C-alpha cells in the first residue's frame, strides 16, 4: 500500500464519493424487488419465475466482481468504477423497452452489472488507507448497502408517482446512475497505488498472478461466510416484500417499508462492524454474527399452524404463527448482525492478502453475490413445492450452522498449530507451583 503521501482530505473524498456511488448502484441492483412485483402481475408469473427474475441481476453482479476487482487492481478503481456505472445506466434504460419474460431476464443481466461496483469500490477505497484503518474505511464504504433500503422504501412511492408504470422507475434510476458516474469521475483521483506504479514504472501483476491466492482454502472459507452475511442479506432484501404480501397479506407500500426496516440496519451498521473488527478483532465479531443470526432464523423458521383443542363450550381454535411485530423485530436484529458480519469478513482480506485485494475481494464478493442469486430462486421453488412461507428461514438456519461450525473448527486448528503448548498436558503452572508449596 502506498499511502504515505495521501492527505486526510483525499482519503475522505475517495471514501465519500465511493460510498455514495455504491449506494446508487446498490439501489439499482435491487430495484426488481419492487418493480418485479408489477412485472410479475403483468406477466402472470409464479413464485419460481419471480425468484429467477429478481435473482438474475444478482448473478451478473456476482460473476462480474472477480473481473472488475482484478481490472481495478490493474487499471485503477476510478476509471473502472465510472465505466461500470455508465454501462449499467444504459442497461437500466433499455430494460423499459422489453415486454417478454425471456427478454426481461436478458435485460436484468445487464442491470446486474451494478452489483459489480462493490469489488471496484473495496479495491479503490483500500488503497487510500493503512491497514489499521482499513476495517473502518471499508465498513463505511459497505454502508452503501443501504441502497437496498432506499429502493424498498422509496421505489413504491416513486411507482405511485409514475401512475403504477414500472418503466418510469427504471428510467429515473438510469438517469440518476449516469449523473452519479459523471460526478464520481470529476470529484475523485486515481488510486495511490496506480500513481505509484506510473511514477516508478512498475508493471501491474498479471491475471494469473492475481488469481494465485485463490488456491488457498481460507479464501473459500471467507467466501462461505460472505455467502450468508451478504448473499442472504440481498436475497431477503429482494424476497421480503413478496413474503410480507404473501404471508401476511400486506399492501405493496407497507411491505416495502417493512422490508426497508430490515435492509436499513443491514447496511448502516456496517461501519460499526468495521470499527469493532479493528478494535476487538474480526473473529470475535463473526462469532457474534453467526450465533445471533442462527438464533433469529431458527425462531423465524417456525411454520404457521392452525389447530384446535377441546374446550368447555366447544373446540378452541389456535393459530401458531409469529406475530407481525415480532417478525419485523427479528428481521431488524438479523439485519444488524449481518451488517457487522459483512464488515468483519472484509477486514480479513487486506490483512491476509494486501497485494491481492481486488482478486480475493472479487472472489469473496462473487460467492457472496451468488448467494443473492441462488437463494431467492430456492425460496420461490420451496414456496411453490411445499407451500410453507417460513421454509426460506429453515434453509438459512442450516446454512449459518454450517458456516459457524466450519469457522470454529478452523480457528481451533489454527490455535492448535500456532500455540501447541495449550494442547499438551492439562496443567497450569500457577496451580502446579501452589501444589508443590503445599506439599
Q: Is residue 166 part of a domain?
A: yes
What is the rounded average pLDDT for all residues in the chain?
A: 82
Q: Which domain holds residue 179?
A: 8-420
pLDDT for residue 428 = 47
Q: Is the pLDDT of residue 146 over 80?
A: yes
pLDDT for residue 417 = 73
What does the alpha-carbon distance between residue 258 and residue 161 come to, in Å, rounded to a whole number? 20
Q: Is residue 390 part of a domain?
A: yes
Q: What total number of domains does the chain contain? A: 1
Q: Is residue 332 part of a domain?
A: yes
Which pLDDT band holds residue 308 (cuts at 50, 70, 90)?
A: very low
Which pLDDT band holds residue 283 (cuts at 50, 70, 90)?
A: confident
What does the alpha-carbon distance between residue 76 and residue 189 come to, in Å, rounded to a whole number? 10
Q: Is residue 312 part of a domain?
A: yes
Rounded to whole angstroms, what are the CA distances from 416 to 177, 280, 409, 413?
50, 21, 11, 5
CATH code, domain with 201? 1.20.1250.20
Q: Is residue 432 part of a domain?
A: no
Which pLDDT band holds residue 207 (cuts at 50, 70, 90)?
A: low
pLDDT for residue 65 = 80
Instruction: Name residue 318's beta-bridge partners.
Output: 307
Give the global pTM.
0.70
pLDDT for residue 1 = 47
Of the ranges 213-217, 254-258, 296-300, 306-310, which is most confident? 296-300
Q: Is residue 428 part of a domain?
A: no
Determine the distance from the C-alpha atom of residue 130 to the mean position of all C-alpha atoms in its chain, rounded to a whole number.
24
Q: Is residue 430 part of a domain?
A: no
pLDDT for residue 91 = 92
pLDDT for residue 122 = 84
Of the ranges 116-125, 268-277, 293-302, 340-349, which is most confident? 293-302
Q: Is residue 1 part of a domain?
A: no
pLDDT for residue 28 = 93
Amino acid at each position: 500500500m502506498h499511502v504515505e503521501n495521501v492527505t486526510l482530505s483525499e482519503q475522505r473524498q475517495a471514501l465519500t464519493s465511493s460510498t455514495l456511488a455504491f449506494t446508487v448502484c446498490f439501489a439499482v441492483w435491487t430495484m426488481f424487488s419492487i418493480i418485479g412485483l408489477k412485472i410479475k402481475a403483468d406477466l402472470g408469473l409464479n413464485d419460481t419465475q419471480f425468484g429467477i427474475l429478481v435473482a438474475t441481476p444478482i448473478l451478473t453482479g456476482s460473476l462480474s466482481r472477480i473481473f472488475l476487482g482484478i481490472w481495478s487492481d490493474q487499471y485503477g478503481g476510478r476509471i473502472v468504477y465510472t465505466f461500470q456505472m455508465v454501462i449499467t445506466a444504459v442497461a437500466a434504460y433499455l430494460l423499459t423497452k422489453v415486454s417478454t419474460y425471456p427478454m426481461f431476464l436478458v435485460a436484468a443481466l445487464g442491470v446486474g452489472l451494478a452489483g459489480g461496483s462493490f469489488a471496484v469500490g473495496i479495491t479503490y477505497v483500500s488503497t487510500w488507507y493503512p491497514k489499521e484503518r482499513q476495517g473502518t474505511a471499508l465498513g463505511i464504504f459497505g454502508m452503501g448497502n443501504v441502497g437496498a433500503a432506499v429502493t424498498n422504501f422509496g421505489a413504491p412511492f416513486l411507482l405511485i408517482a409514475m401512475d403504477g408504470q414500472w418503466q418510469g422507475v427504471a428510467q429515473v434510476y438510469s438517469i440518476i446512475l449516469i449523473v452519479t458516474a459523471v460526478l464520481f469521475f470529476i470529484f475523485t483521483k486515481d488510486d495511490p497505488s496506480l500513481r505509484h506504479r506510473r511514477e516508478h514504472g512498475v508493471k501491474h501483476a498479471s491475471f494469473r498472478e492475481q488469481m494465485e491466492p485463490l488456491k488457498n482454502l481460507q479464501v473459500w472459507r471467507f467466501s462461505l461466510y460472505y455467502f450468508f452475511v451478504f448473499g442472504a442479506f440481498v436475497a431477503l432484501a429482494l424476497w421480503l416484500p413478496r413474503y410480507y404480501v404473501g404471508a401476511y397479506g400486506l399492501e405493496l407500500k407497507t411491505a416495502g417499508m417493512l422490508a426497508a426496516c430490515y435492509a436499513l440496519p443491514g447496511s448502516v451498521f456496517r461501519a460499526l462492524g468495521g470499527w469493532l473488527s479493528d478494535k476487538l478483532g474480526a473473529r470475535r465479531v463473526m462469532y457474534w454474527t453467526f450465533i445471533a443470526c442462527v438464533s433469529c432464523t431458527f425462531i423465524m423458521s417456525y411454520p404457521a399452524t392452525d389447530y384446535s383443542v377441546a374446550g368447555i363450550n366447544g373446540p378452541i381454535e389456535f393459530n401458531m404463527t409469529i406475530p407481525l411485530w415480532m417478525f419485523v423485530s427479528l428481521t431488524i436484529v438479523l439485519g444488524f448482525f449481518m451488517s457487522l458480519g459483512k464488515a468483519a469478513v472484509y477486514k480479513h482480506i487486506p490483512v491476509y492478502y494486501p497485494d491481492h485485494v481486488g482478486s480475493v475481494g472479487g472472489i469473496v464478493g462473487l460467492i457472496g453475490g451468488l448467494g443473492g442469486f441462488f437463494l431467492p430462486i430456492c425460496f420461490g421453488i420451496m414456496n411453490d413445492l411445499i407451500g410453507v412461507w417460513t421454509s426460506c428461514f429453515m434453509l438459512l438456519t442450516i446454512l449459518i450452522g454450517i458456516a459457524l461450525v466450519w469457522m470454529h473448527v478452523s480457528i481451533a486448528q489454527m490455535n492448535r498449530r500456532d500455540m501447541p503448548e495449550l494442547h499438551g498436558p492439562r496443567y497450569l503452572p500457577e496451580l502446579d507451583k501452589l501444589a508443590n508449596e503445599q506439599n
